[in-house]
Amino acid sequence: MTTLAGGVRGVPSRFLPVLATVVLFVLSFGVGAVRYDGFASGQVIANLFIDNAFLIVLAAGMTFVILSGGIDLSVGSVVALSTMVTAAGLRAGWPVPLVVLAVLVIGSTLGLLMGLVIHKFDIQPFIVTLAGMFLARGLCFLISVESVSIKDRTFRDVATAAITLPGKVTITYNVVIALVVVFAALYVLHRTRFGRTVYAVGGNESSALLMGLPTARVKVGVYVISGFCSALAGLLFSLYMLSGYGLHAVGMELEAIAAVVIGGTLLAGGVGYVLGGLVGVLVLGTIQTLISFQGTLSSWWTKIVIGALLLVFIAVQRTMVRR
Amino acid sequence: MKNRLLWPLLALAALLLLNLVVTPSFFSLRMQDGHLYGGLVDVLKNGAPTLLIALGMTLVIATRGIDLSVGAVAAIAGAVTCVHIGTSGSAGTAFAGMAIALVLCALLGLWNGFLVAGLGIQPIIATLVLMTAGRGVAMLVTEGQIVTVNNDAYRQVGAGFVVLPISILISLLVLGLVAFATRRTALGMLIESVGVNPEASRLAGVRSRTIIWTVYVFAAVCAGIAGLMISSNVSAADANNAGLWIEMDAILAVVIGGTSLAGGRYSLTGTLLGALIIQTLTTTVYTIGVAPEVTLLFKAVVVIAVCLLQAPKARAALSFRKVAVS
C-alpha cells in the first residue's frame, strides 16, 4: 500500500480504493500471464466479460443501492425469477419482445415495492430485501419446480451469436449489453441530478433532506434501478444458461456485493464508483480463471480467496476512513 | 412487553389453528418406546437448530450487530466433527470431535468479534467475510465430499430421544441459561446499552468491546452446536448444504419475535416464538401438500406482515385509519 500511495501522489484519496482494485486486477492477471501459457490472450480477457456479463450488470445496480446507504439481498433471486419467467414465457409461445418486457417490468416492480416498503414504513433494507429474496425464489418454484430449458429459435440465435473483434477475439451480445449498462450507470450517477442525490443521501441523509433534495425519490429509485438491473441480468443469465430454474444464481447477491466492495465502494454509502464494481467483477473472474488454469486447486479455494480479498479491502477502507 | 409479543403469538396461534382444520392428526401425540411422536414434536425437533442459532443471533442483534456467518460456521462444525470421527464408532472419539469443533467455532466467533469490535468494521460486512470463506473452509475440511459417519453417540445429538428429542432439550437448556445469565444479572442490560449507544456505554464504564466479543463468540458456539445437530441428524457432513439459509431463518426468527434490528432491546421469548412460527410454517406447508420449495413464498409474506405490524410508521398509519373510521 505504501508504494502505491507513494506512486500516485496527487491523485485524490477517494480514487485510491478503485486504483487499488485496478492494480490488484493487473497483478492477478500478470501472475496468470507469467505462470500459464495462453493466459495473456485477448480471448481470455473477452471470456472474463462473457462469463460475468450478468454479474457486471448486477454490480452496477448494486452500486446504486450501496451508494445510497442501503443493501439489496434480493438480486440473486430476481435473476432466478427472470430466467424462470423467460423460460416459461417462451415455452408458452410468447414472442421474445413481450417476454423481455415482462421480465423487465416484473423486476422493476419488485424493486419499486421493496423501495416503497423501505421508505414509507422505515423498515431496514436488509429485512425487506431478504423478504424480497424469499418472495422471488418462492415465485420461481410456483411457476415450476423443475428446470425449464429454452428452445426458442430467436433466443438461441442471440445467445450463440458471436461478434468478432479485431485479433480474432469473439464476444457475445451479452457483453455489449453489460457494457452499455455500465456506461448508462456512469452517466446517470455522474451527469444527472438523480446521481448526485444518490451520493448525497448516502453521505448523510438528514443533510440531504435539509438541503431540499428529493431523498424519497432517490431512496425508492435506487431499488427500482437495482430491480431493473437484476431483471436484465436475469435475461443475460438465461441467454448464458439457456434455461430457467429456481435454483439458478443461488448466492449471487453475495458475489455482487463482494464485487462492489472489492471495487472500493464504501458500504456505509456515499463513496464509490460504478467502474469499481466492474473491476471488482473482473478480479473475481480472474481468480476463477486462475484456479481453473491451475487445475490442481479445487473450486472451493475460490470462496476462500474471495473472502480473504473482501477482508483486505474492508480493512484498507477502514484505515482510510479513519484518517 | 405484552404488546410486542402479541402479534407473534397470534401468528403462531393462527398457524396452529390452520393445522387443526386441515390436518387434525397434527396434534395427536403418542408414546412409543419411551419416545414422544407427533406433528408438534417434529416441529420442535426440526426447529431446534434454528432456535439455537436465533438465540445467539438475538444477542448479536441486541448490540446492533448481525452475524451472517452462522450457516458457514454450522457447516464447519459438522465437517470437522465428521472428519475427526471418520470410521470410528466409539463415543470418546465423537465427544472429542465435537469438543474440537466447538473450540474451533469459538475461535471463529473471536475472529468475527475482532473484526467488529477490534477493527470497527460494519457487522454485515465483517461477518460476510466468514460467510463467504467459511463454506470454502468447510469444503476444504471435507475435501469436497459428503463425509458419512456411523457413530451411535454422535447420532444422539441430532436424532436421539429422551422422551423429547435431545436436540430440542439442548436448545431449551441454552435458552434457559441465556435467559438466566442475561435477565437475572446485569449482563442483559449491558448488552442493550451497548446496542443503544456503544460510545456512551463505554464512557459510562461498560466494557463495550468485551461485550461485543462475547456475543459473537456465543453466536458462533450456538451455530456450532446447531451444526452438530444438523450433521448428526443425517450422520453426515455436507459442506455445501448444511445450514444453508439458516442465517436468514435465524434473523427472521429474531425479527418476528420483536427484536429490533436497530439494537438496544431484545426478547428471548419473542425469538422462541419466532423460531416456532418459522418451523410450524415450514411443517404446515409440507403437510398441506404444497411443493416444499414454495415455503419461501409464505415466509416472505409472514416476514413482511410481521415487520409491517411492528413498524412504528405502519402502526401509526393503521391506528390513524381506525380513528378516522370511528
Q: Quick: pLDDT tens for B169-225.
A: 999 999 999 999 998 999 999 999 999 888 888 899 888 899 999 999 999 999 999
Taking CB atoms and an 8 Å cutoff, what residues of chain B touch A307?
129-130, 132-134, 136
Q: Is the pLDDT of residue B322 over 80?
A: no
* Distance from the B24 Cα atom to the nearest Cα atom in chain A, whole angstroms: 26
Do B311 and A300 count as a contact with CB atoms less than 8 A apart?
no
**For the ranges A85-94, B121-130, B273-282, which has the lowest average pLDDT?**
B121-130
Across B291-317, average pLDDT:
78
Size of interface A-B (CB pairs under 8 A): 128
State the pLDDT at residue A7: 42
Q: Find the closest chain A residue to B292 by CA distance.
A: A141
Any idea where the domains of chain A sit in the sequence?
41-249
For A239-273, write each residue's pLDDT tens digit: 999 999 988 888 888 889 989 988 888 888 888 89
Interface of B with A in 64-93 (CB under 8 A): 66
Q: Find the closest chain B residue to A309 by CA distance.
A: B129
d(CA A202, CA A214): 13
Minimum-distance CB partner of A300 among B144, B261, B307: B144
DSSP state, B48?
Answer: H
State the pLDDT at residue B212: 94
φ/ψ (deg, to 5) at A170 = -110, 140
Cβ atoms of A112 and A220 within 8 Å: the answer is yes
B309 and chain A in contact, CB less than 8 A: no
Indicate the pTM of the whole model. 0.86
State the pLDDT at residue B1: 47
State the pLDDT at residue B312: 76
Taking CB atoms and an 8 Å cutoff, what residues of chain B touch A117?
304, 308
State the pLDDT at residue B40: 85
Cβ atoms of A172 and A52 within 8 Å: the answer is no
> What are the structural domains of chain B?
30-280 (1.10.3470)
Do B295 and A138 count as a contact with CB atoms less than 8 A apart?
yes
Taking CB atoms and an 8 Å cutoff, what residues of chain B touch A138?
293-300
Interface of B with A in 120-179 (CB under 8 A): 120-122, 124-126, 128-137, 139-140, 143-144
Minimum-distance CB partner of B304 among A126, A131, A142: A131
Looking at every residue in chain B, the average pLDDT score rounds to 87
* Distance from the A287 Cα atom to the nearest Cα atom in chain B, whole angstroms: 14
Do B294 and A134 count as a contact with CB atoms less than 8 A apart?
no
* Nearest to B199, CA basis, from B188, B186, B212, B187: B212
A287, A303, A321: best mutation site toward chain B, by most B Cβ within 10 Å?
A303
Does the predicted interface ipTM exceed a cut of 0.90? no
Q: Find the closest chain B residue to A319 by CA distance.
A: B119
* Distance from the B304 Cα atom to the nearest Cα atom in chain A, whole angstroms: 7
Interface of B with A in 247-276 (CB under 8 A): 248, 251-252, 255, 261-262
* Distance from the A312 Cα atom to the nearest Cα atom in chain B, whole angstroms: 10
Q: Find the closest chain B residue to A117 by CA distance.
A: B308
Taking CB atoms and an 8 Å cutoff, what residues of chain A touch B124?
71, 126, 267
Q: Is the pLDDT of residue B321 over 60?
A: no
Q: Find the closest chain B residue to A300 by CA distance.
A: B136
Q: Is the pLDDT of residue B297 over 90?
A: no
Do B120 and A306 count as a contact with CB atoms less than 8 A apart?
no
* Distance from the B61 Cα atom to the nearest Cα atom in chain A, whole angstroms: 13
Low-confidence ranges of chain A (pLDDT < 50): 1-8, 323
Q: Is the pLDDT of residue B288 over 60?
A: yes
Q: Is the pLDDT of residue B57 over 90?
A: yes
For B146-163, write each residue's pLDDT tens digit: 999 998 899 988 888 888
Taking CB atoms and an 8 Å cutoff, what residues of chain B touch A303?
132-133, 135-136, 139
Do A318 and B137 count as a contact with CB atoms less than 8 A apart?
no
State the pLDDT at residue A238: 95
B304 and chain A in contact, CB less than 8 A: yes
A137, A300, A318, A323: best mutation site toward chain B, by most B Cβ within 10 Å?
A300
State the pLDDT at residue A265: 87
Q: Is the pLDDT of residue B121 over 90?
A: no
Taking CB atoms and an 8 Å cutoff, what residues of chain B touch A144?
none
Taking CB atoms and an 8 Å cutoff, what residues of chain B touch A265?
none
3-state secondary structure chain A: CHHHHHHCCCCCHHHHHHHHHHHHHHHHHHHHHHHCCCCCCHHHHHHHHHHHHHHHHHHHHHHHHHHCCCCCCCHHHHHHHHHHHHHHHHHCCCCHHHHHHHHHHHHHHHHHHHHHHHHHHCCCHHHHHHHHHHHHHHHHHHHCCCCEECCCHHHHHHHHCEEEECCCEEEEHHHHHHHHHHHHHHHHHHHCHHHHHHHHHHHCHHHHHHCCCCHHHHHHHHHHHHHHHHHHHHHHHHHHHCEECCCCCCCHHHHHHHHHHHCCCCCCCCCCCHHHHHHHHHHHHHHHHHHHHHCCCCCHHHHHHHHHHHHHHHHHHHHHHHC
Taking CB atoms and an 8 Å cutoff, what residues of chain B touch A304?
133, 136-137, 140
Do A318 and B308 count as a contact with CB atoms less than 8 A apart?
no
Do A142 and B144 count as a contact with CB atoms less than 8 A apart?
no
